[in-house]
Structures are given as C-alpha cells and as structure tokens.
Amino acid sequence: MSVTVTAPAGPEAPGQAAARRRPRRRWGRVLLPLYSWLIIVYLVLPIAVMVVYSFNRVTTGLPQVSFGWNGFTTKWYREWSNIPELTSSFWLSIRLGLASTLLATVVGTLLALALVRYRPPRFRGKALLEQVLFLNIAAPEIVLGASLLGLFVTINVARGFLTLVLAHVAFSIAYVAVTVRARMAGFDRSLEEAAQDLGAGPWVTFRKITLPLIMPGVLAGALMAFALSIDDFVTSNFVSGSSVPFPVWVYGATRVGIPPQVFVFGTAIFAVGILCAIASIFVGRKKA
Amino acid sequence: MEQPVLADHSGRLDGSRQGRPRLGKVLAPYLLSLPAGLWLLALFLVPLVVMLSLSLQSCNTATGACVMTWHWGEFGQELSLYHAQLVNSFYLAGAATLIDLVVSFPIAYWIAFHGGAKKNFFLLMLLVPFFVSFVIRTVVWEFILSDNGVILGGLKHAHLLPQNFHVLATGYAVVAGLAYNYLPFTALPLYVALERIDKRLLDAAYDLYATRREAFARIILPLTVPGLFAAFLLTFVPALGDYVNQQILGGTSNTMIGTVIQNAFLVNLDYAGGSALSAVLMAIALVGIFAYARLLGTRTIEEYL
Amino acid sequence: MQNRYGGDEAQHAHAIDPAIRRGLTQPRLSRRDMLKFAGAGAGALGLSALASACGVQGATGTTAKSAGVGSQSWWAKQKLHHVVNFGNWPYYIDVLNGKHPTLEHFTQLTGIKVNYTEPISNNVPFYAKIRPSLQAHQYTGYDIVVLTNNSPPLGYLINLGWLTPLDQRAMTNFYKYASPLVKNPSWDPGNKYTMAWQSGWTAIGYNSSVIPNPGSSVGVLFDKKYAGKVGMMSDPQELGSLGLLAIGVEPATSTESDWAKAATKLQQQKSDGIVRAYYDQSYIDNLKNGNTVVSQAWSGDIFQADLNSKYRDLKLLIPDEGGMHWTDNMCIPLYAQNPKDAMTLMEYYYQPQVEAVVEYYNDYVCPVPDARQVLLHPTGWAAQELAAMKPSIGLPFSTTANAPLVFPTPQYNQLSRNYYTYKSQEELTAWNNLFLPITQGA
C-alpha cells in the first residue's frame, strides 16, 4: 500500500519543490474557505431568522409567531414552559432522539463493519442486505409509517415511546450504515492485523485501533440519525399513539397558529448543536 | 524466528494454524449484521411487503378492510393518472440533486483536506440547521422568499427586478427548497469519501510532477466515485418522494409524486393506490441503483482485493 | 329516527358499501388465528394472511347498536372513574402559566382528573391512527376526541357505529346554552354523537389596502384582475364547497351534476392562471406576506391577524353566496373506558362562564352565545381567570365579546352554509375524484 518514491536529484531549490508539491495553497487558503463559510451561512440563514423572531413581541391576542416585527422582548424565553403540551413534546423528542441515535449508531456501525470486511462467499446474502438498505432509503416515509402502524396493531403493541424508538431506529440504520461504510471503504486492515499479531484480542483491537479510526464516520452517522429523528414527522405521526413528538405538535398547531415558544425551542436545539460543534474543536485538538 | 500468526480474514488456512477456522470467525459477518438484519426484517421488510401487497387489494376507504383481489390493474391505473407528476418529480429532484452535488463537493473537499482539527466542527455546522424542525425551516423560507419580503422586496425597490416577479409558487422555489433540505445528505457522504483518500497518494502524484488538475482528475476524482454514488443516491431518491417543499413553496403545476402519495394515504385513505405508487417509486429507485452498481460494482470490489 | 341513509335503523345494514359486504363473505381471521400467525412467524404461513389481517376485516360485529351501548339503560349503569382522556388539536384550549385554567377548575369541581393531550394534527391521519383499535374492538386510548365535520372521518365514525351515543338526559347544559348553529346540526341530527367544541367559517380573506372594495360575491376569487395572486385551499371539501357556492348552489343540497359543474369552474380558474397555489393552513402566511391578495380563509385566522397592527388590513368577507360553517366536535369513541366522565367534561364546557374563559383565549366561533355576557360582565371564578390571562392576551374583554367572528350576529348566522353530508363511500370518492385532480394536477 505504501509507495516508495525517491526525490529526483536536480538543481531545484527545496522550497520550489515543496511549493509545487502543495500547489493548492491559494485555493486552500482563500477561495475554498470563503465558499464553505458562505454555504454554512446560507444553511444557517433561516435558523438565524427564527432566532431573531423568537424575540418578537406579540401585541395582542393569542400569542403566535409573527413575521411582522413588533419590538424586542425576552418574554418567550421567560415563559418558555407556558404551554404544557409543547414542553412535554419537546422533551419527548429529545429523549426519543437520543435513544434512537444510540441504538441506530451501534447497530448501523456493526452492519457497516460486516459490509466492508466480508464478501461472498464468506458473507452469503450480502448483496441482498445491501439492496434492503437502499430500499429503506428509497421507500417514501409515508409507506414506512403506515406499514409500521399496521404491524404494531396486528401484534398488539401499544403505540407510544417504544414504538417511536423502534420506528426511528428502523429508518436510521440504513443512513448510519451507508455513512460509516463509505468512511471505512479504504480502511487499512494492516493496523488491525498488526495489533492482533501483537496479541490483542478482537475486542481490544476493536476498541483501541478500529473504533478511533472509524470514529469520524461513526460520528457523522450518529449526527445524521439524530437529525432524522428529531425532525421526523410522517412516521412519528403514525406510530406515536397519544404521545406527541415535537414536529407533530408544531404541525398540528399551524392550524391555529404556532406559539412563539416553538421558536424558543428551535433556538435551544440549535444552540445545543452549535455548542456540540464548538466542543468538538477542543476534542479534536486534544487528540491531535 | 517464529513465523508470525497472521490474522487471516479469507478463511484460508495457513500453515501455522491448527484445525478449522474458529466458529467465531466464520460467523463474524453474520453476527455483526444480525442486529441490523433482524431489525430491518421485522420493522421494515415485513410491514413493507404487507403494505405493498395492499396495492393488489381492494380496500374499503372508511373501514380500512381490505380484500386480496390480485388487482394488478392498480399499477396501470395509478400510473396513467399520475405519470405527469412522476416525470415532474424526476426533473425537480434531479435538478436539486445536481445542484447539491456541485455545491457540496467543494465544501466537502475543503473540510476533508483542510479542515484539520476543526473537521468535526464544520461537519456539525453542516448538520445542525437540520436539527430544527422542517415546519419551522419551511415557514421561515416562505417568509424570506416572499414577494415583497426582505430579499425580493429590496431588489424590487432598487428596480433590479420587475414588480410582479416571484420566486414562491414556481418550480424554482421547489428546487431551491429541495436542494436546501437535502444538502447534508449530499455533503456528508462526499466528505467521508474524500476524507479517507490517502494523502500520501497525492504527495506521490505531486512528487511525480503531476499538475494540480491531473492530481485531481486522476487521483481524487476516481477515488471519490463511490462517495459520489452514495451522495447521489442519498439525495435523489428521498427528494423524489418529498412532498413538503412542493406543498409550501410550489405553485399549481409543480405537483410531485410525493404529494400524490401523501394525499392518497392521508386525504383519500386510498391505501391501495398509495401503495401502488410507492411501489413504483421504489422500483424505479432499485432499477437505478442496480444499473449504477453494475457500472461501479466491479471496480469497487477490485480496488479492495 | 331516520339515519343518514334515509332508511330506519334496521335497514342500516343494507345500505352498507358493497365492498364491506364482499369482505364479510371472505374467510375471516379470528383474533386467535392472528396470534397464532404472529407466534408461528408470518413468513411461513403466508403474508397474504397477514395482509388481510393488517387491512383488518369488516367493522360489523360489535357496533354500538348491537351491544346496546349508548342506550339509556346502558348509561344508567355507567359510573364515574374520576379520570378522563381527552385528545384535542394543539393550542386549542386556554393556557396560563403552563396550566389549563378550565381543566383545573373542572378537576376542582368534580374530582375527575383530565389527561389532556394534543395528538390531532389533522382529521384523516388521526382517524387512520385510531381506526385499527376500533376495528380490533379495543380502547383507542381516548374518551373524548375532537373531529371536524367537513372532513370524512367524522362521517365514517358515525356511519360505522364507532361512536358512543351521548347520554341525552345528561345534556342539560348543552340544550340550555348551545347556539342554534351547533344544535341539531346537519351532520349529526339530534346531537346523537357530537357536541361542538369550537366553530369557524371558511370564507374570503383579502387585503383591504390592495382591494379596498372587494364587492360581496364569491366572484372576487375568480377575478382576472388578481390573477396569480389568489389563494385557494387544497382540501377537497373546502375547495369543492367554494366551487359550488360560486355556481350558485348550496353545498348541503347539491347533486353530483352540480359537483361536476363546480369542478369545471375551478379547473377554469386554474387554467386561467388566477390561482397562485392551493394551500393548506399556510394560506394565512401568504396573505400576510402579500404573496396573495385574496384567498379562501378561516375566520379565526383573520381575527387573529387583525389584532396585529402590521396585518390590520386583512379582512374577512362572508359573501352573499354564504360562508361555509365548520365545527370541531367533541365525541366519544366506542370502547371508551370512562364514558360517564367524558359526558361530565363535555357538559362542563357548555357553561357560559367556562366558555368565556376558553373563548377569550381561542377566538373562534363560540358555541355558547351566553358567554358573551360573561365577558362583558365577568363575575366569580371566570372574572379571576380572565383577569389573570389579560396581561398575555392584552385584549379588552369587550373586544372579544363584540366580535361577530366570535359571537355571530343573526346576519352572520344567516350567511352560514353547511357542507355536504356524504351518504355513502361512493359519493365521497366521486367528490374527491372531481376535486383532488385540480389541486394535485401536474
């Protein structure tokens, strides 16, 4: 896998050769970062608007979100828990997101490991499994939701938090597996082999060698799973029973008008996400 | 010197081992994929097949009682009613996916190659906006893009746009919405594919006097192909079945097949029709995947021999 | 008494959709069979069996009538359990500091604990959620649910006998205080099954600064002057009813040929480029943002918008042809575990004091006209709660009391029109097949 190259003997000054070896410096330093930050700003734009309008005053009547600016107030942050069902739906979605992300990441990563390392004939049914994964991604959410409701009714499982977790993991596994697998596709087995040569058992090898190396992919998959879960409406609507996840409540409230506290919760979720992002810098630095 | 015991993953015996490969080794792939396999079987495949079988049944809309009548005509019926919407969806989702691929590649490239210690930060920044509920995001986009809102109003005021110009209620708004909502689905797989490219290969290429363009075209791009495939797949197919963006941002003539399916299930309670259309959607996706994998499959496998 | 099929109760069975009858002649799975399949693994025994089970067989068997549920003798045997499960739409009840004053007061008065949830985001999906329980003869988890009359599910529930008939003798408050608009309504003659929660009108919302003089006809929605800036609703019942009003037909007495003519008119409106888009509840955002200048609109939304100084130009027009009057109705699903507690709660909300508090928060059409007097001259508990809510609502009580959109005047009552009540599944299918292609056409 390693390539041995001898530098050509020649009259070049070392600096010149080095400069040619990294000609992407101009791109890398200016244009790409600028572009990337622009994209991030674009992605964050509607969230920023939401944050701004979470401080919007409501003049009279049923408190609801309004895009006509009425003045600044922190009232909605002080009265954030004013609407009991909204607050409980928010906490439900958080718990649901954490639970399903944890399960989906573990199950999906194991699956990705299997898919990357083994091929037929050692791994019979691999192709079939891959088709099933793609099918899971391709299936319209509404079919997943309706079919799961049918299943839960038939086997007489009460619809609630449990069925929500089961459903959320079911649609997240494929995304986690595909994401982790893409990361692992060029994974260098020699490190693992070296560890095992040195006497490490499979679990130790996994914990100390494999896992840290695939961690970026695993984290990406976990993030995807969490985003999918916390934002899921269609499937959740079908299998939630009388428990009401956050997106379901918000969508139902649009008939009357969504209360400003919805923007407060949205801001809170976003703030936590940003904090995680910032925290990851320090984690990354420690590793380096 | 003692011959090292090699961790042998092909199942072949080498001389220093005694007996057959341990049972654990043989079962490894199956054990690893067991949790996922079981979960998907019980909570995806079985209910899915049952639901799809509804497309062959005749259902009473009110009670939900269904009778198997092997009504293959359902597919033809639904397709003849809604083929225009299906084609529409291809155009809209396709455009959004292409935009996403073009837009995501540079940012994925930058994070992978120049992210350094802050890689995870940027990845999170790509995903965090999507932690916020789609209802909120779309309502806000509706506000931002409104005819006399912040952006368009300002441009019209400066006479840069005609007074009756509008973005909302057009196909462009739908594509923009789709591209926005599915961007992380494109960027993340691209990122992971780019990230795993061995930088030493690039160094080697430059040492061999490759230009920047050559290095990109002949090293980076080919190695990214599986990632491009994953990114395309993860974006196009869900976008094809999307309904929210078109409902809120679209006009009278951009109906996507996702909306039709949504209406079938949630307005009409026509489970047979909705299942038939969903089956068609998934069949198309599978055909596309199969064909693509054929083109890509052998090459990918060879790389890892 | 006559049921909606026009025959008497005994002939109810003969008017059932043929599809149901077909289903009844197929071999049926008993619950024990289904459990057997689940145990043996659905795969071996054939997915088709599971498929029929999932679709689930016909709804006959234990309907309310056959088990005597809802009869006076049955109600006499019911006892209070001091708990009730109430499922409603989000944000549709009074709220103060994380509590619901009217519910707290109810618990104080009666000792009945209310488990109040807000799982209903739309009529049809909610129906799809509770239907499997009803088919399996199980408790849905709700003693009271709130469904709208202009959407098929309420009709399905009534027709299929999946609602518990109300205890007429206990409905003293209702018969004393209910407004004429919600007493003996067309979708539930004699209030056998439903009591209104709130009502509203679907009429025409317009921006008075752009359209200072909209006239008084529904034709303003078809005016080519506003091409590309007209919003219509995507719900087939709302859209179709407006089409019928536009051709001068009363929806409640319309015929299928009327529907076809209405569909043609709406199709013409679309191809003339008059309609900007077919909206769900997001029509109000587009009206507020100026993307549309005239739109089908709900009365409550316009009332709310008017309270905001930025949107004061938005007004509601109830045209001469009429405004469609819809009602969100409380009803008790079959197999409810706490029916007597449910009746108590439903009756409680028909006291003027209680409705005054709800209405001050909600601003839809109040089913209890006497609540207006309470708002104008509050006393006792109601006065306390209203005073507590005033800082966050910020409205003088008289504004709510004098709003015709909350307490309709006789003139408004005259302009109210009822939705068509479908007599069979085929009729509903025919209606949807005429109007859905307009909203979801390519």
Domain boundary among A76, A104, A135: A76
- The B residues from 90 to 109 touching C (CB cutoff 8 Å) are none
Element containing residue C331 per DSSP (H, E)? strand C323-331
pLDDT digits (tens, 9 = 90+) for B153-192: 888 888 888 888 888 888 899 999 999 989 988 888 788 7
Rounded to two decimals, what is the model's pTM? 0.82
Chain B: residue whose CA lies nearest to C162: B63
Best CA proximity match to A182, nearest among A264, A231, A112, A128: A112
- CB contacts of A59 in chain C (<8 Å) are 307-309, 394
- B85: domain CATH number? 1.10.3720.10
How many structural domains comprise chain A?
A: 2
Whether residue B267 lies within 8 A of chain A, CB to CB, comes out as no
**Does any domain span residue A148?**
yes
Minimum mean pLDDT range among A156-165, A200-209, C423-432: A200-209
Whether the CB of C17 is below 8 Å from some CB of chain B: the reply is yes
What pLDDT sits at residue B269?
84
User: ipTM, 2 decimals?
Assistant: 0.80
What is the pLDDT averaged over residues C297-306? 90
Neighbours of A120 (CB within 10 A): 10
Can you give the pLDDT at residue B229?
80
The answer to whether C267 contacts chain B (CB < 8 Å) is no
Name the pLDDT band for B58 (thresholds 50, 70, 90): confident
User: Does A236 map to a domain?
Assistant: yes
- Higher-confidence residue: B223 or C204? C204
Asked whether residue B178 is assigned to any structural domain, the reply reads yes
B64 at interface of C, judged by CB pairs closer than 8 A: yes
Tell me, yes or no, whether A158 and A51 share the same domain.
Answer: no
Confidence of residue A1 (pLDDT cuts 50, 70, 90): very low
Contacts of A255 in chain C (CB under 8 A): 89-90, 121, 281
Spacing of C-alpha B231 from chain mean position: 6
Cis peptide upstream of residue A121 (ω within 30 degrees of 0) = yes
pLDDT at position A217 is 76
- Name the residue with tokens 């797989």: B189
Confidence (pLDDT) at A183: 67
Say if C139 is an interface residue toward chain A (CB within 8 Å).
Answer: no
Same domain, A70 and A89: no
Kindly determine whether residue B266 and residue C236, on different chains, have CB atoms separated by under 8 Å.
no
One domain for residues A72 and A89: no
What's chain C's average pLDDT?
85
Does residue A8 belong to any structural domain of this protein?
no
The residue whose two tokens read 């009822």 is: C418
- Asked whether residue B6 is assigned to any structural domain, the reply reads no
What is the tally of structural domains in chain B?
1
Say yes or no to pLDDT of C64 above 70.
no
User: What integer pLDDT is reported at residue B46 of this predicted model?
Assistant: 92
The structural architecture, per CATH, of the domain C202-325+418-439 is 3-Layer(aba) Sandwich (3.40)
pLDDT of residue B297: 61
For residue B91, tell me if it sits in a domain.
yes
Q: pLDDT digit string (tens) for B239-283?
A: 888 888 888 888 888 899 988 988 888 888 888 888 888 888 888
C291 in B contact zone (CB under 8 Å):
yes
Domain extent at residue B124: 71-303
A270 touches B: beta carbon within 8 Å: yes
pLDDT tens sequence across B136-154: 888 888 888 888 888 888 8
Q: Do B43 and A151 touch (CB under 8 A)?
A: yes
Q: Any residues with CB less than 8 A from the CB of A72 and at least 6 apart, and which? A: A55, A56, A57
Query: Is position A284 within any domain?
Result: no
Among the partner-chain residues C47, C57, C276, the one whose CB lies closest to the CB of B251 is C276
> Do A54 and A152 lie in a common domain?
no
Confidence of residue A200 (pLDDT cuts 50, 70, 90): confident
Dihedral angle over CA of B73, B75, B79, B82, nearest 10: 110
DSSP string, C48-113: HHHHHHHH---S-SS-HHHHTTTSHHHHHH----SEEEEE--TT-S--BTTB-HHHHHHHHHH--E
Q: What is the pLDDT of residue C34?
A: 36
User: In sequence order, what are the beta bridge partners of C323?
Assistant: C416
Predicted confidence (pLDDT) at residue B10 exceeds the cutoff of 50: no
One fold for both C20-199+327-405 and C202-325+418-439?
A: yes
- Same domain, yes or no, for A201 and A62? no
**What CATH number is given for C20-199+327-405 in this structure?**
3.40.190.10
Mean pLDDT computed over A212-217: 79
pLDDT, mean over chain B: 81
Distance from CA of A248 to the nearest CA of B (A): 9
pLDDT for res C275: 95
Residues 6+ apart with CB under 8 A from C175: C183
Q: Are residues A51 and A162 in the same domain?
A: no
C33 has pLDDT over 70: no
- Give a yes or no: residue A62 inside a domain: yes
pLDDT in tens, C167-186: 999 999 999 999 998 999 98
- Residue B218 predicted with pLDDT over 50: yes
Does the structure show a pLDDT above 70 at A131? yes
Among A20-29, B15-24, B33-42, top mean pLDDT goes to: B33-42
Residue C141, pLDDT > 70, answer: yes
* Cβ <8 Å between A82 and C125: no
The vertex-C88 CA angle with C300 and A244, nearest 5°, equals: 115
The more confident residue out of C240 and A20 is: C240
**Domain of residue A162, residue span:** 84-258
Residue C48: is its pLDDT beyond 50? no
